[in-house]
Amino acid sequence: MPTDGAKVSFERVADRHLPMLLAWLSEPHVRQWWGDPEVELGLIRDGCESGEVDGFVFHVADEPVGYIQSWIPSHYDEEPWAKDLSADTPGVDIFVGRPELTGKGIATLALRAFAARLFEKGARRIVIDPDAGNRRAVRAYAKAGFVPFGEWIGESGRTLLMELTRTEFERN
């Protein structure tokens, strides 16, 4: 799937997406970083229903290819690295669900399009927190314009903290 000039669209997660999301979460390249598929699907479903998470299936060239969500990290005590973030700083999580589409620039493309939406809604800064060992994700986020601003070492390992500011986004 070529990404040059490809159109990215976002469809709010609905019950009909849950089987597809479960299949994607069960793929080894997603499960490695997201965890147990049933647990993660429950978190996505519950987060979207409660409004804690703004979750979307993203499409490239009208094909569903992955999941992306925004959330407010400072609202979560279990994320100690987020305590100094402002309440208007969204965090983003993303995965490309179909394994044959990884490494093709799709996450970068979707992340740039999603960041544009968040900036249009008033965000001044967006953060993302990949596992520092997830080199593929870190590269994709860097290509989307995110830069490291810190790291957190916790129970689940080393988290790289990356940010994209509206100013930097508009320059690129």
Answer yes or no: CATH 2.40.50.140 is held by domain 8-124. no
Q: How far, in whole angstroms, is CA 127 from its chain's centroid?
A: 10
pLDDT single digits (tens) 24-39: 999 999 999 999 999 9
pLDDT tier for residue 154 given thresholds of 50, 70 and 90? confident
DSSP characters over 76-145: -TT-GGGTTS-TT--EEEEEE-SGGGTTSSHHHHHHHHHHHHHHHTT-SEEEE--BTT-HHHHHHHHHTT
31-62: pLDDT as tens digits: 999 999 999 999 999 999 999 999 999 999 89
The model's pTM: 0.92
